Amino acid sequence: MTSVKEQEAVRKLTIFLQEWDSAHKVARSHILDNFIKSNDGKTEPELELEFSQGASLFLARLTAWLRMTYMYSTCLNKLLKSIGIFLSAASGRRYLIEFLEIGGVLILLEILGLRHLKEEDKRQSVKLLQLVANAGRKYKELICESYGVRSLAEFLATSSSAEAQEDVQVLMGSLGSGNPKYQNQVYKGLIAVLPCASPRAQQLALQALRVMQDTVGEAPSVLVEPVLGALCSPHLEVQYEATQLLKALMAREVRPALLKGLVALLTPPRKKAFTFCDETAKDPTALCLREPMLVYSQQAAAAKVIG
- Coil, helix or strand at residue 303: helix
pLDDT given at position 48: 95
Looking at residue 167, its amino acid is D
Report the pLDDT value the prediction gives residue 287, as an integer from 0 to 100. 42
CA distances from 13 to 26, 50, 96 (A): 21, 9, 22
Q: Would 297 be classed as within a structural domain?
A: yes
The predicted pLDDT at position 160 comes to: 95
Q: Is residue 44 part of a domain?
A: no
Kindly report the pTM of this predicted structure. 0.89
Q: Are 182 and 149 in contact (CB under 8 A)?
A: yes
> Does 91 map to a domain?
no
Max CA separation in the chain (angstroms) = 96
Structural domain includes residue 287: yes
Assigned domain for 87 exists? no
Residues of the chain with pLDDT under 70: 1-2, 269-293
In a domain, 35, yes or no: no
How far out from the chain centre does Cα 141 lie?
A: 16
Q: Note whether 154 and 110 are within 8 A (CB).
A: no
- Rounded to whole angstroms, the Cα distance separating 280 from 135 reads 59
Q: Is residue 304 part of a domain?
A: yes
* Number of domains comprising the chain: 1
Domain housing 223: 219-275+283-307
| 210 located within any domain | no
